Homo-oligomer: A and B are copies of this chain.
């Protein structure tokens, strides 16, 4: 079963319609301390379903997407009498929707749930694909299942409380989806500044972006092959993200992806003939809005080691990249030599002016 995707800026109404159609025996809403303060009160005022739901609050932040928080959710669901006929509403960023969906999927072997992402990153990245889970043993999303929500309600109304950094972070994944879609889609996004766009216009862009991901996921629901196209920008991106964490100046995931898109497109240009002018426009857009990620050639060995560690990239001596022939034409499983990667990192630093 695929989750129903609902793009709307009338969220309370959408939640109530779905809750009515499912006639659950009880309703639970899982929030973190942020969405509890900034999002929940309004929904409690306007949505009948949310107003009568029992609220379960977890700490915010990816470091709390762990077994302790999961147990807290399971215990509260038990104490408050959640049954197999109940409905769980996950209201928050990807951390809340990933963990809440995993809690729901494993409680009494599965309680129905809907996701209401409240961040742009959550809306564009975590809303389709059925990936649920928690971090474990310092490994991200190490424990989880594939499980589909009854519905995902995608809205831009919550984004007014997001910082510019959070908006850009989500927009990086939209750029990635546009690159996987078409030249026109990409051109449309490169014209926009996500911190200065009307919510309905953003919702329209968001819908197109989510549908790109949905198209890929539908072809490969359990992540066996073509879904790796979505890994575009993530091979270097994850390495940048971990590297930044190691030197104690962490960067948001979306920024890491944005920075990672540059070497991925450089390699796409070198290996797959991706258009040079397009590469320059994307790189310029990223540097303008995301700034530069500071690293030197002394950092290459560590970055290369980190690229090889990613669980999707393990082949001796080479690193597995998703590249592009052109917008909309991904090539998965490109094995790239270290020398080429170093050259791409050199060019990336040139683009960034560092």
Give chain A interface residues in 78-136, CB to chain B under 8 Å: 78, 83, 105-110, 131-133, 136
Partner of A144, one of B78, B109, B142, B311: B109
Asked whether A4 is an interface residue with its Cβ less than 8 Å from the other chain, the reply is: no
Indicate if A74 sits at the interface (CB-CB under 8 A): yes
Closest B residue, CB atoms, query A109: B144
A74-B143 in contact given A110-B222, A131-B109 (Cβ < 8 Å): yes
CB distance from A79 to the nearest CB of B (A): 9
When C-beta atoms are compared, the residue in chain B nearest to A107 turns out to be B143
Residues of B within 8 A of A223 (CB): 109
CA distance A145 to B144 in the complex (A): 11
Q: How far is the CA of A139 from the CA of B77 in the complex (A)?
A: 13
By beta carbon, the residue of chain B nearest A147 is: B145
Given contacts A83-B311, A311-B83, contact A145 B75 (CB under 8 A): no
Distance in Å: Cβ of A70 to nearest Cβ of chain B: 9
Closest-by-CB residue of B relative to A67 is: B71
Q: Does A137 contact B (CB under 8 A)?
A: yes
Q: A108-B142, A109-B131 are in contact. List 14 more A-B contacts (CB 8 A).
A: A74-B143, A75-B137, A78-B136, A78-B137, A83-B311, A106-B133, A106-B143, A107-B143, A108-B144, A109-B132, A109-B133, A109-B141, A109-B145, A110-B145
